[in-house]
Amino acid sequence: MTTVARILLSVLVALLLVAGPCHARPAPQHTTAKSAASAKAAVDGITAIYNFGDSLSDTGNLLREGGATGVLQHTTSLPYGSAIGGATGRCSDGYLMIDFLAKDLGLPLLNPYLDKGADDFTHGANFAVAGATALDAAALATRGVSVPHTNSSLAVQLQRFKDLMSATTRSPQEVRERLARSLVMVGEIGGNDYNYAFAANKPAAGGAHNLYNFGRVATGVVEALALVPDVVRSVTGAARELLDMGATRVVIPGNFPLGCVPSYMSAANETDPAAYDANGCLAALNLFSQMHNVLLQQGIRELRRSYPAATIAYADYFYAYVRMLRDAGKTGFDEGAVTKACCGAGGGKYNVDMDRMCGAPGASVCARPDERISWDGVHLTQHAYRVMTDLLYHKGFASPAPVEFQRS
């Protein structure tokens, strides 16, 4: 039973650490009509981006909702955003994939939808909220799962999009015309659903190896596994609504390989070499990620059959991340620190201490963040997000290609 318990515990701790909310000061500048007009010419006919998701792409919505507590309070200021002049609500030292994608498309950075100071959503809007779930709070509550940080589930984000369309267009046909010139990003989202399910069944302190805790861990695993089909249906259902409204280019990302992320690896603290795959990642955790991704890709294939005229791309975050690990030295990363957070207080192999996360007293920042993949043990550095963007949208890890960039 020890082996089974270790596997279940490793899955548990990984999913308990699914990317958490980030909260920060407002960005110092807003996109205006003037700045939008000065943007470079649109690439491949795309004039706007609409983004839905969680902390991997939130550029300031949770900040404006408020309510972050505990260790999350440390992300409200530097060193978050240190590469771009200050904390803006992005869970990194700088820009995210959604920012780099907007730049590559010649568009202004997306304004968070909840930014009341933004006076122009001509080139799209960002609806992502850190800590958000794919399923709404009521649906999760029926399973005994509470949502602690935000109620801005995917359904809420989708409604906000519809509200924006109602306020800025005069007819469904005008919405269709706008979406025909837009790129729509549905996720990554869903990891927090699993996170909160595991949190509801976390082991009692002081008895990690007793039968009671084994039972709780097993319950958490079963409940998280049971959520996967519903999470996938929520994501593909949102995509279906957007396609019905006229979207012609939709990107649906999969999950990262959880077993390669420093916070998960540190928490598991697995000493058995057999628990690791050829990339040095925890195989059990990556198996869970792959299960989600396989079901998601099946749902995407069904969408493609229903909407043959649309381009519906699967953004393979899993294998793009693995490629980034394998090619770390070629893209400027320190090959000896690919699983070590730049900002933290844990020291050792991973530099992760969940009680003293980045920004907490005692935490420090590495001398060269651009040489690290992980920023805080959960989220990536600006450099890593740049590399991921290149892999996904310039090197074929998002397929079929949602955008045709000119080759340099």
Residue 349 lies in a domain: no
pLDDT averaged over 10-residue windows placed end to end, the chain, 408 residues = 46 44 47 42 90 95 77 73 94 97 96 88 95 91 83 95 96 97 96 74 49 46 78 97 98 94 86 92 90 96 98 98 97 96 93 90 95 96 98 97 85
Quote the domain boundaries for residue 235.
2-327
CA distance 345 to 62: 25
Contact (CB, 8 A) for 391 and 324: yes
Catalytically active residues, by annotation:
55, 376, 379
Is 369 part of a structural domain of the chain? no
| Counted domains in the chain | 1
How far apart, in whole angstroms, are the C-alpha atoms of residue 339 and residue 350?
6
Give the model's pLDDT for residue 264. Answer: 83
The pLDDT value recorded for residue 65 is 87
Query: In terms of Cα–Cα distance, which of 157, 133, 172 is closest to 51?
Result: 157
Q: Is residue 302 part of a domain?
A: yes
Do the beta carbons of residue 200 and residue 220 sit within 8 Å? yes
Residue 219 pLDDT: 53
Residue 366 lies in a domain: no
Q: What is the pLDDT of residue 41?
A: 58
| Helix (H), strand (E) at residue 215 | helix 211-245
Q: Please report, for the domain that includes residue 300, its CATH number.
A: 3.40.50
- The H-assigned helical ranges of 38-153 are 61-65, 97-104, 137-141
Q: How far apart are alpha carbons 292 and 287 in whole angstroms?
A: 9
